[in-house]
Amino acid sequence: MKHRAEFILISAALGFAFGGIAAKVLREANMDAFRLTQIRTSAAAAILLTLVLLKNKSQLKATRSEIKDLIIFGIIGIAAVTSFYFFAIKYLYVSVALIIEFTAPIWIVLYLRFIKKKSVPATIWWGIAFAFSGLLLISQIWSGTSLHPLGVIAAFLDAIALALYFIFADRLSQTRTSLSLITWGMSVAAVFWALILPWWNFPFEFLTNTYSLQGELSNYSAPGWALVLWIVVVGTVIPYLMTVTAIRELSASTSSVIGMIEPIFAGVIAWWLLNEAFTPIQLLGCAVVLVGIYLADKARSVVSKS
């Protein structure tokens, strides 16, 4: 099938976006972002570990030199990325939080330029200019009603954590399969949260309570466990496995560019289901940011090869 990998990757982005909608419902019900991250990563780790053990458990072997990076990858690349995102969507539209999160390629290029001292093409500076101009349009700071500062801070921290995710993933994927790397990341994150937030204090009432859905689905309700199951299966395990499958056929750069469609999916779904409406200026801002991210990511691929 022509463009099979692209179709799989786009489907994965759709799954991630749908998962964010269920997370938004639980966050609006005041479920703690860290607890939501804990149950998401722990359940996903259990499923992925089962798959790896059934398929080829030798994939989980790690050398002593890899352990440190795998731990950092799990804590920052998985635990921090997810928790900052869940924190941000309580205060921001899902799509806006994702737009800010997907500025990660820009931070990667800045890291390569100023930390690794690699030359950076002019395209990246155009990308940065587009991205931050778009963010100004989205926030509409001149209107006096800007975005919630806590949400913006969390979303930018999420972007930096996501940038570190890509940096460590690029390094670790040289010696590991993508499936084993994701399984390691989720497992480390699960252990991390179990140590920080003991399970015996977990607010299990969130799993048994019933929550009214939002927007067009406000006449319907769902139990918390069903929402969590949706987040874990539809918004985590399936899209991660689809992403792994697609990356085998596409380059990392191409995959990351295609992945930028996730904020657009999230915006359409949130508009459809949650009535998260944008003004024309904000829609223009989203488009400008995506152009900036695209330019930055293309420049990143050039810098990475140099």
Cβ atoms < 10 Å from Cβ of 278: 17
Q: Rounded to an integer, what distance in angstroms lies between the CA atom of residue 21 and that of residue 23?
A: 5
Confidence (pTM) = 0.83
Helices (H), the chain: 4-28, 33-56, 64-72, 81-88, 94-101, 104-114, 122-139, 149-172, 178-196, 205-208, 224-232, 238-247, 252-259, 261-273, 280-305
pLDDT tens string for the chain (306 positions)?
A: 667 877 888 898 899 989 988 998 999 899 999 999 999 999 999 999 999 999 888 989 998 889 999 999 999 999 999 999 999 988 887 778 888 888 887 888 788 778 888 777 778 788 878 887 887 787 665 665 567 889 999 999 999 998 888 888 878 877 888 789 899 999 999 999 999 999 999 999 999 999 988 777 778 899 999 999 999 999 999 887 787 777 667 655 556 667 777 877 877 787 777 677 777 888 898 888 888 877 776 765 565 555
Domain regions of the chain by residue span: 4-305
**DSSP assignment string, 109-178:** HHHHHHTS-----HHHHHHHHHHHHHHHHHHTGGGT----HHHHHHHHHHHHHHHHHHHHHHHHTTTS-H
